[in-house]
Amino acid sequence: MMKIGFEATRTIDRRPTGISRYSHNLISALAAEKGGHELSIYYNLTTIGKRHRWLRSGSVPRRVHYEGLLPVYNFPDVIHGLEGTVPNWKKSARVITIHDIFPIICEGDLVVPRQFREKIKRIYEVGVSLADVIVTDSDNTRRDVINAFSVPESKVLTVYPGHGMLSGQESSAPEESFERINGRKYLLFLGAISEKKNTERIVRAYADSKAKSEFDLVMVGILSYRHELTIDAIRELGIEKHVKMLGYVSDNEVMRILRNASGFVFPTLYEGFGFPILEAMMVGVPVLTSNIGSAVEVSGGHAKLTDPYETEAITAGIDYLVEPGNFDLVAAKKHAEQFTWTRCARELLSIYETL
């Protein structure tokens, strides 16, 4: 029996998004597959005031640590940092997951603020130096990590996550955000309204598309870095009545909105993995995504790919998206179903057991 700990400090989020949901699903799957191993979730003592946001995963205990003072004893055999950082515990083998290094490899401050980029780089440099094994969500991210940090290829392993982070259930009661769509057919974007997610180009491409005459564009996600460019573009183009910005919504609402979409528009500038791509495929919605980064790998030939830096190319992709018969949605779902949390948990357990 092994003692396996998960350092989850950087997964705390007031409104859970990708990394916190990844962590919850992963630990739940590991708890089901643990085979007699003992699991624990660790948080830095400085987050004690936010403990109401700590992950809850069945009977897996939650513990605190603090620099060299805590824990005093009973160190886990393996400590897995779930987002790029891990405690320097000499008695534990150390694993980190790096989900996305776009803040480090992008150029300039247009997509990611300089201070944030420098902070993330420092955090990851320390995590990489401490880790015995680095886990990435895709082969594309694995290559980026190897190149960015000059680490041996043997130290970086791809372990694909499960096919989504949503519950798969939708509420039986009408939801406020869904009601705001007003019954017209629509295309969906899911993610932060930001430069990284390419939302300004998306709305400009939509405004030029033939699809605009029949479909609204629904955008679900928080306002993030340089979101004002997207909002200004919507006003400039006079498409306010066609673009519905719903903000952050619950998982139940997202599932309802996704299931009822006519197409999923997701040509972002970079994805460490791309959960929404698989989520759309799982519910039979055709996908438009980027022809660069992990999106190509994750979509597996079952999405329309486009150059995310070319607005005209995105426009053509949107019009292709809504034409009947362009997608084999059954094959796309079968592809998405291969990405399971059970497989992810088993592959990680195999890694832990080698350390």
pLDDT band at 167 (very low <50, low <70, confident <90, very high): very low
> pLDDT per residue over 230-264, tens digit each?
999 999 999 999 999 999 998 888 999 999 999 99
Coil/strand/helix, residue 337: helix
Q: Are 132 and 182 found together in one domain?
A: no
Cα 307 to the center of its chain, rounded Å: 20
Nearest to 85 by CA among 51, 46, 134, 38: 134
Instruction: Name the percent of the chain lying above pLDDT 70.
Output: 94
- Report the pLDDT value the prediction gives residue 111, as an integer from 0 to 100: 83
Residues 330 and 345 placed together within one structural domain of the fold: no
Amino acid at 232: D
What is the extent of the structural domain holding 349? Answer: 3-162+340-354
pTM, rounded to two decimals: 0.93
Claim to verify: residue 325 and residue 350 sit in the same structural domain: no
pLDDT at 178 (0 to 100): 61
pLDDT digits (tens, 9 = 90+) for 340-355: 999 999 999 999 999 9
170 in a domain, yes or no?
no
pLDDT, tens digit (0-9, with 9 covering 90-100), for 59-76: 899 999 998 788 988 999
Rounded to an integer, what distance in angstroms lies between the CA atom of residue 128 and that of residue 132? 8
Claim to verify: residue 291 and residue 329 sit in the same structural domain: yes
Same domain? 9 vs 158:
yes
Residue 219 sits in the same domain as residue 94: no
* Those residues with Cβ within 8 angstroms of residue 174's Cβ, 6 or more apart along the chain or in another chain: none
Q: Given this model, what pLDDT does residue 166 score?
A: 55
Shared domain for 323 and 227, answered yes or no, is: yes
Of the ranges 104-113, 191-200, 281-290, which one carries the lowest mean pLDDT score?
104-113
**42 pLDDT higher than 60:** yes
- Mean of pLDDT over the chain: 92
267 and 156 share one domain? no
Residues 127 and 186 in one domain: no
Q: Is 215 inside a domain boundary?
A: yes
Check whether residue 56 and residue 180 sit in a common domain.
no
What does the pLDDT read at residue 171? 42
Round to whole Å and give the CA distance between 2 and 39.
Answer: 8
What is the mean predicted confidence (pLDDT) over 222-228?
Answer: 94
Number of domains in the chain: 2
CATH number of the domain to which 108 belongs: 3.40.50.2000
Residue 237 belongs to a domain: yes
158 and 189 belong to one structural domain: no
321 and 345 housed in the same domain? no
